[in-house]
Amino acid sequence: MDKENPKKQSSIFVTIGSKPKKELAGQEWDNGKKESAAAIEPKKEEEEFQWLFPEKTEQKEEAIQQYASMQRPAAKQATGKLLIIVISAVCVGVLLGYALVKVVTQKEEPARHAILQEEKQEKVKEKENTAAVPAAPKGKGTSLSSIEPAVVQGGVFSTKEAAEAVKRQINGLDLPAEAVQQNGQYIVLLATASTVETAKMIGELYKASGADTYAKQVTVSSSQPLGEAAGEIAALFPAVAEESGKQVAGRKGDQLELQKAEKALTAMDVQSNDRTAVQLKKLLTEALTEAKSDQPQAAKAAQEKLLAFLSVYSQ
């Protein structure tokens, strides 16, 4: 074979989709001294191979269609299973709820029936007791409800002597004070009202004068049965205490409330043999007279009478 002749080469033509074919030409490099590229001579007889490749867009569309066709049945199956699960859960919940309601209702019905029976029996007993106890005649001894005033307290003591000693100390500060017996103890009171708010204002004013005070609501009850007249008088106590307490705290009292209380107190008929009622009416009348003057010093005098009222009522 002659060395100067170039090597035979073949060309390959490739057709891609509908695009025109391209010729792929081979190259040969001469290893000679001149280091020049040898020309490629076309060959008369060429071998052609046509490779047909689908376009990329066509491949993607086919893949998408195949994926969609596979996913639709799966999605329908999953949706159907989910609906079945939800419906089953709802049915089970309804059945369990109905069963629980039946059980609770069956347990509560006997209990309600028993409660109604007990209430009926109690009402019958109350009617029998009411019919058995006759109404107390006017002027006779009866049990009275307690008075629940707001007070300015100076201390609680187990002996009357200790309470009296503190009372004298407070009086030395030019402040009213009274020892009131309650539940086996002696409470030193400096002022009274019907609301804790008013009692606190008085307490702050008395603290500035050097007294150690504490405002709160208390219950004052009698240690022995009192007459009906004493109870009617005690019902007027809160109004007089509140208005005179406001005056001590530097506020204006309601004169209309004081006039109503005075009118009601004057209209009361108290038997002379009911000493406790007579004494309570006298003290409340004097407190009203002092409170009507609308002066701070007179209001303190009214408080002295009201504290004495509580002391007598608690005996």
Contact (Cβ atoms closer than 8 angstroms) between residue 299 and residue 310: no
The Cα–Cα gap between 17 and 296 comes to 115
What CATH class does 146-314 carry? alpha beta
Could you tell me the pTM of the whole model? 0.55
Confidence band of 132 (pLDDT split at 50, 70, 90): very low
Task: State the pLDDT at residue 174.
Answer: 92
- What is the reported pLDDT for 141? 43
Dihedral angle over CA of 84, 87, 90, 93, nearest 10: -50
Write the CA distances from 314 to 10, 35, 171, 183, 299, integer angstroms.
135, 138, 21, 10, 23
The rounded percent of the chain whose pLDDT value lies above 70 is: 61
- How far CA 114 is from CA of 80, 121, 126, in Å, comes to 52, 11, 18
Residue 220: closest CA among 274, 258, 177, 179 = 179
> CB-based contacts of 215: which residues, under 8 Å, 6+ apart?
150, 151, 152, 153, 196, 199, 200, 202, 203
Which segment of 116-125, 142-151, 222-231, 294-303 scores lowest on mean pLDDT?
116-125
Q: Distance between CA 147 and CA 143 in Å, rounded?
A: 13
Weakest-pLDDT range from 23-37, 116-130, 240-254: 23-37
* Structural domain boundaries in the chain: 8-53, 60-104, 146-314
pLDDT at 225 over 60: yes
Summarize the confidence of residues 201-221 as an average pLDDT.
92
8, pLDDT greater than 70:
no
